[in-house]
Amino acid sequence: MSNKLPVGILGATGIVGRDLSKCSSITRGFEVAWMAASDRSEGRPYAEAARWRLKTAIPANVAKMTVAPATPKARRRLIFAALERFDCP
C-alpha cells in the first residue's frame, strides 16, 4: 500500500493538466488516482487523449489511466486544477 495521497486532476488532457500530471508523478507525497476531462476525452486512455509534447515520457501509471467524466459523483478528496501554466520544481 502506498503512503502517497491519492489526488485527482481536473482538465487532465490540457496543458495545465499535463503539467500537473508530470509534477504529481515526481512529487513524493502525491499519486495520481483520477483524471477527468471533457467529454471528448472521456473513456479514452490518457496517453491517447492527451497531447503530450514534453521531452519527458508520460509517467507509466498516468498513461494507462482512463479519462473520467468531470462529474461530482466521480470526485476525489483532493483535486488539482489550475488556470495558468506553471513549472514544477
Q: Rounded distance, CA 74 to CA 77, Å?
A: 10
| Model confidence pLDDT, tens digit, residues 3-31 | 888 888 888 888 878 888 777 666 678 88
Instruction: Give residue 1's pLDDT.
Output: 46
Report whether pLDDT(88) > 80: no
pLDDT score for 29: 81
Whole-number Å distance between alpha carbons of 56 and 10: 21
Mean pLDDT for 49-78 is 82
> Are residues 64 and 45 in contact, defined by beta-carbon separation less than 8 angstroms?
yes
pLDDT digits over 28-58, tens only?
A: 788 888 888 888 999 999 999 988 888 888 8
